Amino acid sequence: MIDKIKEHIAEIEKFTSDSKEAIENLRIKYLGKKGLLNDFFAEFKNVPNDQKKEFGQTINQLKTVATEKINALKEALDNKTVETGVYGDLTRPSEPVELGSRHPISIVKNQIIDIFSRIGFNVSEGPEIEDDWHNFTALNLPEYHPARDMQDTFFIQTNPDILLRTHTSSVQVRYMENNKPPIRTISPGRVYRNEAISARSHCFFHQVEGLYIDKNVSFADLKQTLQFFTTELFGKSEIRLRPSYFPFTEPSAEVDVYWGLETEADYRITKGTGWLEIMGCGMVDPNVLENCGIDSKEYSGFAFGMGIDRITMLLHQITDIRLLSENDVRFLEQFKSAL
């Protein structure tokens, strides 16, 4: 039996091949689960005691010779493959993986959420398909109210009580109905209005609206909150509030931030004034609080809302709002480095 094993050792030492298949067959023949090496190990128990030592040493020699021969042949084959360029240089790094990028709307939305989360605001969401109560009536806009004309609405034809929400204030109504003060929340989301599509307007866009309800909330609290927000997002701390009208807030105001007049672009976007309108705000009308089941004599609050698309265009110098919804890869790839 020992002589037979030595014959196999000699056979292995003489073996040579540049065929991957032949090398693998050699490995299976000797080192596989059903290979000859296992057969010889199984035969060990039948060997006379005086021959066990030599038999064991010969089997181990067979295993070592087979392993070294197979490894050497594989290494030679790999080197030959690299030299001949069949697969190219296997040590070269692979092609870089193309990384995706966040949409600019998502980038700015996340920045806004992060800023308000630092001062205690949570995030609330609601359905994009709404009913009349949550989108209009609860917000001090009863049926036939003239202010409804301010928002050209997409109604569901088969049910005039169902519509595509025109603002995320509907989310605030739902939140007030299901949560007791103190309330401090922002509601980002997509909204819809029946407007002509152009470089500056679209039939759908994105808003984020904020709401703070508690005891003794004042207009000064609103101004300080917006002051913090504009400083963090734009790096500009000077703001002004101009009287305005919104059905769901009283008093109401438009918020302008002083953008400056340092460049030609500054003159263009601020129309030569240096001031740029960024959002609307006001104290929540007591009727809205009562509609949502909150005692307006005990609680007060403020609300604000802004268009994420417009702020995105401003921060990234985008001149056409349609670029934000056309999914042009050439446009989106510019934001790969953005968070």
- Residue stretches of the annotated binding site for Mg(2+): 250
**∠ Cα 95 96 100 (to 5°):** 140
Which parts are annotated binding residues?
250
Task: Output the CA torsion sign for 87, 88, 89, 93.
Answer: negative
Dist. CA 11–CA 47, nearest whole Å: 23
> Angle 271-274-280 (CA atoms, 0-180°, nearest 5)?
85
